[in-house]
Structure 1
Amino acid sequence: MGSDSHYQIPSIDFSINSTELDRGTEGWYSLCKNVREACENHGCFEIVYDKIPLELKRDTFAMIRQLFNLPVETKEKNVNPKPFHGYYGRYPTTPLYESFGIEDSSNIESFKSFTNLMWPNGHNHFCDTVVTMMKKLDELKEMIEMMILDSYGLGEKLNSIIPCKTLLRVMKYDAPPSGLYENGHYGLTPHTDKLVSTILCDDQVSGLEYETKDGQWVKLSLSPTSYLFIVGDPLMAWSNGRMHRLKHRVMISGEKERYSLGAFGSPLEGTIIKAEKDLVDKEHPRILKDFDYKDFSNFTFTQEGSIIDSEKQVFAFAGIST
């Protein structure tokens, strides 16, 4: 996947016919170990997953293009007070980028409300296609979450890592103006995700890059049947720092627009993010105080929080002084 084989991220096969996906088997626990090690060492991994038909994926991106082709005044109806949960369009710092956020996106009634906001006369094909895609991504997310729990020996103790609903973010990056940004321009500036985790896929137009632990920026290219799992700040906090958050960015060049979608784990209202007690010991002392997720999310958009580098924000907000 990477531009340099030395920095390739792990690729983990979740194929339909794999017996390793049967929980409780030796193969399952081997996969759990691979998932945990990838999250701890890299903050991400490639998911090879054939349970989502390529036709559904293509149809979903066709629907996303229709969404972004709507008039600006229509797109701006997608309003949500939570950061990045509504429409976000071409700000001066990211002039090539726009996105939509859609909460509880695998819930048909919730998604119908969004669809009817964009198309008052309805658009059943858009609604049915994207909800079908999100249900399949939810299944994948739940399986990965169970693997993480089992990898730490917590699968019999906990039903979930952090209580979440799925936030769908669909993203568009315009091609740079002709003759400009020949070496690439920020579609999205370097950051760590503020939501629990992300499953990301794209339309095969490159641009995504990640930073290695030794500070190298590496390009990522996903195959048509691959997805990317990304560790966010809250998952790192839950693991008491054992899991590595992925710092990443999008660099845009060339003549093609880039489209991507992410299924994000969005903590429920009132959720307190805290280190799992079984992951705190003498070798792994607590690194963060318990914190209210909503307060942290809001902090990142305050004047104080916004001037702090993205990967340092959670420590500025909830770090434990030594």
Structure 2
Amino acid sequence: MGSDSHYQIPAIDFSINSTELDRGTDKWYNLCKRVREACENYGCFEIAYDKIPLQLKADTFSMIRQLFNLPVETKEKNVNPKPFHGYYGQYPTTPFYESFGIEDSSNYESFKSFTELMWPDGHEQFCNTVVTMVKKMDELKEMIEMMILDSYGLGEKLNSIIACKTLLRVMKYDAPPSGQYANGHYGLTPHTDKLVSTILCDDQVSGLEFETKDGQWVKLSLSPTSYLFIVGDPLLAWSNGRMHRLKHRVMISGEKERYSLGAFGSPLEGTIINAAKELVDDEHPRILKDFDYKDFSKFTFTQEGSAIDSEMQVFAFAGISST
């Protein structure tokens, strides 16, 4: 893990031939424990994962560049009333950042509809390549979710942590004007993710930074075969505060554009976020009320919600008073 600091996040090997991936074995449960500890102590971990071919990853980023090269009026057809579920760009507060949200993106028909919106004559290569990539990222996310459940002894009790569909977000950060922002400029401001969890990968152009528990900002660089798992606010709520959310940002500098893509766990319509009852006890009293995910998501974009620091929004919305 490359960094300009001695502080490094855990790196966990999920190689295809690893016997640790055989569920139910002692090695599996040891791996689950490492995943849980990483989520609790860091809010993220790096995954060495060779089940996604490097060529598929390269082809996916090639397709994504074609998407961002489309005219603005075409991009803006990607409309969705949910925050960050559609096209986002051309905003003065984040002038170097733009992104697309593609809902239920591992569903071929859903993704095909998006593709035909962008390319009315169709773009089969784009559709097939990116859907294949998303499905493989989904497999990884589902395995990590099972590890989290097993690590808390809940794998036989619960089918999932929070019922979700995959929201694919593809992101582009323009290089700043030549000679400007040599020390970095916000591509994306500091925040915690409002979706359940994220599997993230990038095109090897640096920029992602995370905040340590003692307030230091550390650069994070992934290897070509690595992915990043990020804990979001709903996982904090589900784990009753055991898991640490990753506060992160993107700082841009240099002369290269940065591209990244993330498979986000987006709760199904009507989902109520609550703490798993097995994770509430005298030592761990409830820290948040049950809350409707859709209402929480909307709150973060209200005038009241947006005035609150990102990591405190969930407590402002659903916190339990200690008095």
TM-score, with normalisation over the residues of structure 2?
Answer: 0.99
Whether the 8 Å contact between 2:47 and 2:228 is mirrored in structure 1 is yes
Whether the 8 Å contact between 2:89 and 2:99 is mirrored in structure 1 is yes
Whether the 8 Å contact between 2:5 and 2:218 is mirrored in structure 1 is no
- Displaced runs of 4 or more, over 6 A: none
CA distance in 1, matches of 2:194, 2:186: 19
> 1:238-273, CA deviations, whole angstroms, 9 ceiling, x for partnerless residues?
000000000000000000000000000000000000
Whether the 8 Å contact between 1:209 and 1:220 is mirrored in structure 2 is yes
CA distance in 1, matches of 2:294, 2:170: 22
CA distance in 2, matches of 1:7, 1:178: 31
CA distance in 2, matches of 1:197, 1:305: 21
CA distance in 1, matches of 2:15, 2:217: 29
> 1:198-242, CA deviations, whole angstroms, 9 ceiling, x for partnerless residues?
000000000000000000000000000000000000001000000
Superposed displacement of residue 179, structure 1: 1.6
CA distance in 2, matches of 1:3, 1:228: 15
SS in structure 1 of the partner of residue 90 of structure 2: strand
SS in structure 2 of the partner of residue 230 of structure 1: strand
Q: Percent identity?
A: 90
Superposed displacement of residue 20, structure 1: 0.6
CA distance in 2, matches of 1:9, 1:19: 23
SS in structure 2 of the partner of residue 172 of structure 1: strand
Superposed displacement of residue 4, structure 1: 4.5
CA distance in 2, matches of 1:157, 1:91: 45
SS in structure 1 of the partner of residue 120 of structure 2: coil
Superposed displacement of residue 2, structure 1: 4.4
The number of residues matched between the two structures is 322
Superposed displacement of residue 91, structure 1: 1.0
The range that moved more, 279-288 or 143-152, is 279-288
CA distance in 1, matches of 2:4, 2:113: 44
> 1:180-200, CA deviations, whole angstroms, 9 ceiling, x for partnerless residues?
111100000000000000000
Unaligned 5+ runs, structure 2: none
Superposed displacement of residue 6, structure 1: 3.0
Whether the 8 Å contact between 1:112 and 1:127 is mirrored in structure 2 is yes
Superposed displacement of residue 90, structure 1: 2.8
Superposed displacement of residue 41, structure 1: 0.2
Whether the 8 Å contact between 2:2 and 2:222 is mirrored in structure 1 is no
Superposed displacement of residue 5, structure 1: 5.3
TM-score, with normalisation over the residues of structure 1?
Answer: 0.99
CA distance in 1, matches of 2:90, 2:190: 17
CA distance in 2, matches of 1:302, 1:112: 32
Q: Which residue of 1 aligns with 2:234?
A: 234
> 1:17-73, CA deviations, whole angstroms, 9 ceiling, x for partnerless residues?
001101001110011000000000000000000000000000000000000000000
CA distance in 2, matches of 1:280, 1:212: 26
Unaligned 5+ runs, structure 1: none
Paired residues for 1:275-290 under 5 Å: 275-290=275-290
CA distance in 2, matches of 1:302, 1:151: 36
Q: Which residue of 1 aligns with 2:40?
A: 40
Whether the 8 Å contact between 1:203 and 1:260 is mirrored in structure 2 is yes
SS in structure 2 of the partner of residue 255 of structure 1: coil
Shift in CA distance, 103/56, structure 1 to aligned 2, threshold 3 Å? same
CA distance in 1, matches of 2:2, 2:132: 30
The range that moved more, 160-169 or 176-185, is 176-185
> 1:70-129, CA deviations, whole angstroms, 9 ceiling, x for partnerless residues?
000000000000000000003111100000000010100000000000000000000000
CA distance in 2, matches of 1:275, 1:254: 43
Whether the 8 Å contact between 1:102 and 1:114 is mirrored in structure 2 is yes
SS in structure 1 of the partner of residue 264 of structure 2: strand
SS in structure 1 of the partner of residue 165 of structure 2: strand
CA distance in 1, matches of 2:208, 2:5: 16
Whether the 8 Å contact between 1:2 and 1:9 is mirrored in structure 2 is no
> 1:280-304, CA deviations, whole angstroms, 9 ceiling, x for partnerless residues?
1111110000000000000000000
Q: Which residue of 2 aligns with 1:141?
A: 141
